Amino acid sequence: MNAAVRSITRMALQKGCTPFAIFEGYQGLVDGGEYIKQLGWEDVQGMLSVGGTSIGTARCMAFRERAGRLTAAFNLVKNGIDALVVIGGDGSLTGADKLRGEWKGLIDELVQTGVMTSLYPWTGRLTTEESAGLRENLTIVGLVGSIDNDMSSTDITIGAVTSLHRICESLDSLTSTALSHQRAFIIEVMGRHCGWLGLMAAISVGADWVFLPERPPPLNSAKYGSDWQTELCDYIGKQRAMGNRKTIIIVCEGAIDNNLAPIRPEDVKTALEKGLSLDSRITTLGHVQRGGTPCAYDRFLATVQGVEAVNAVLRSTPETPSPMIGMNQNKITAGPLLEAVKLTKSVADAIASKDFKKAMDLRDPDFNAAYNAYVESTVHALEPGANLLPEGERLRIGIMHVGAPAGGMNAATRIAARLCLNRGHSCIGIRNGFAGLIRDDIVPLEYRDLHGWQVRGGSELGTSRAHPQPPTDGPKLHVVGDKFVDLGLIAYHLQKHSIDALLIVGGFEAYTSILTMAISRKNYPAFCIPMVHLPATVSNNVPGTDYSVGSDTALNAIVDSCDRLKLSANANKGRVFLVEVQGGNCGYLAVMGGLVAGATNVYIPEEGISLDMLQHDVHHLTNRYTVEKRTKKHKRAEGRLILRAEEASAETYTTEVVSNILRAEGRGLFDSRTAILGHLQQGNVPSPLDRIRATRLAVDCIDWIQKRAAHGRSRDQESSSRSSPLAAFPATYCPDGADACVIGVRGADVVFTPVEELLAETDLKARRGKVAWWMNLKELIRILAKHEYVEHDDLDGSRIDLTKQD
């Protein structure tokens, strides 16, 4: 929420508006006085890393009465406020829209009689003059702040992902305890009418069962009727029999059975102890889920939605329905607020009427897809053989990691392998990429091998940059390093191990590897198998997708480091940290990291670094520090960050060189230090978002492989033609090139794009896509850092123009 307050305030100032903070929510609006405060640029300084809400929030019974809203309207007009941006849940947003609907009548009453009720002391009347221009309309814009992610018409709400971070941090710790003691842990998480937190946490930590409000147990009502306790014990017992040493069960606070009876953690504990004699413990996370430093994604979401909220205020008309700012398909949207609230309440109505299918359908498609992925990849032993394919349709699917390690690689591999085993496929783990393949370093993956992979960073299979030797008649590839593997050897070993399909998890090298094999099919028929690339790289430079698995983990590592560096910079008055981040020739991490860490500027490979850029930044820093050190209201100069992508003009303007230039040109007004984050960005536990994305994409990859195999020759024909492991594959198996693809998230859709088609949108030399959706955010960094806004500070009767050096 604080990130939203910051961006709304600074964007309003940029647009020539006057922002106010109303402290303690509607209570502050009713009380007025010191609870309504005009905000300046520095008033929101440092807010990005602060959890909760610095301006406070409170339930206000008075605002529900007309008398309370009358007083609120009086305070708004007295302060000249004609627009409200409300950050809250459906109740807060509905209340704001009601105030708008009554606005003209309230102002007329205030002009005629003033505020005088039994509930409030006489406040006064409004004059016609002071209400002029404010009498006809009050503009309302809503932002959804809800950890439950329970608002319709938006894919995600402010605070939900941070809450998921807090849950997963706790569950990751509990998992190690559960493994040590072989106990069952039952964790209650928030979610009264929406199971998003519970479901996503279950996916992120590999929980064994989850109880949701929208989909009550039993899952197999035909077999168990209403006896969810027996269904749970049957499943957990089978898991234990398969060697699972721990049991993690998540219960949403609004969990119910199919008769609408509440399911409490105590009920689950009793069921496990009676049915399995299983030592069980209950943990209620409570308000821990609401606290802590906001994660990178929530800072991004709140920042860009705050900017859009100001724009929505400025384009609003009396006829425009109050908008709610949302996020749909990776794009900021503005839709009717009341329609979104109505749809949200319809979910609770559907649950109350036991129409659970409708309740699930009313959730966004991602929720349903995630639920189905969780059930198939986790609740596999409930109905043995239910998902098994016919013998002739089962495949030997190879999985390998290629390129640098990235958070979420193991999560993707775990889910893909479990789905393969559920369906009867053989899952072959290929260690250390193509280098391991030609050394026959392969291992069949079984359930017991995959325990705990969901939360592990790095690569359990091992990864390398060894790359298939590009053919001379193909596109010119710019491969990192010079370790090439002969195509003939790769083809030989794929046939030797009877690999029917290949899933490669990795970065740009994984893309060019599949591209190399695809264009070499005419010479090596062994490559005529379904091959799919699941993008996993911190750089987020793979074409065909908005996000790569691992990029969110890296971004959170950057934000965590930048928060600490900023504390150091603040303590040392007048210090600028130049922070080098990874990303190769792609500036995604620098731009997104700069936006959510509150950087002054970022330098990226797409634009490079020039003397003009450095000179402008020196002037900007000089002016800012001059104002802060000479103005009495600033007790100390703010520490600042500039992020530099590692390959931004790397041959000339290295991190050390740029830092030295800044230090020299600062002339003692400010200092400069460097921080190179290096491989810290690739490590650590994968973020919940990366685990969720990995799960979703892995499920779709296995589905895609099965469909592509079905489009090829029949399994009987394959078996007869491959009686020898060295038998040739028919080139007609892949006639249209659609059997070598990159899976990607574009907007809200998961798409498969043939690797050869992606050539048109790929810069092979720079090793990145030609179009980047995040590039326009770079200018927003400069705007929020006060590069463009000219503020006049009164210093001894003079005014400082911040666009010029003092």
β partners of residue 534: 505
Cβ–Cβ under 8 Å, residues 186 and 207? no
As to burial, measured by CB atoms within 10 angstroms (0-12 exposed, 13-18 middle, 19+ buried), residue 114 is: middle
The rounded distance, in Å, linking the Cα atoms of 294 and 273 is 38
The SS3 of residue 13 is: helix
As to burial, measured by CB atoms within 10 angstroms (0-12 exposed, 13-18 middle, 19+ buried), residue 365 is: exposed
The SS3 of residue 562 is: helix
The rounded distance, in Å, linking the Cα atoms of 756 and 737 is 8
β partners of residue 443: 429
Tokens read off for 386: 């239910």
Is 148 part of the annotated catalytic residue set? yes
The rounded distance, in Å, linking the Cα atoms of 531 and 519 is 12
The rounded distance, in Å, linking the Cα atoms of 652 and 620 is 23
Degrees (nearest 5) of the Cα angle 53, 57, 63?
155
Catalytic residue among 148, 208, 500, 690: 148
The Cβ of residue 16 has, within 10 Å, a number of other Cβ atoms equal to 8
Tokens read off for 519: 């264009």
DSSP letter assigned to residue 195: -
Closest CA to 696 of 749, 753, 739: 749
Closest CA to 698 of 731, 662, 745: 745
DSSP letter assigned to residue 33: G
Cβ–Cβ under 8 Å, residues 753 and 579? no
Cβ–Cβ under 8 Å, residues 505 and 537? no
As to burial, measured by CB atoms within 10 angstroms (0-12 exposed, 13-18 middle, 19+ buried), residue 440 is: exposed
The rounded distance, in Å, linking the Cα atoms of 391 and 183 is 37
Tokens read off for 683: 């490590």
The rounded distance, in Å, linking the Cα atoms of 278 and 12 is 58
Length of the chain: 806
As to burial, measured by CB atoms within 10 angstroms (0-12 exposed, 13-18 middle, 19+ buried), residue 730 is: middle
Which amino acids are annotated catalytic? Answer: 148
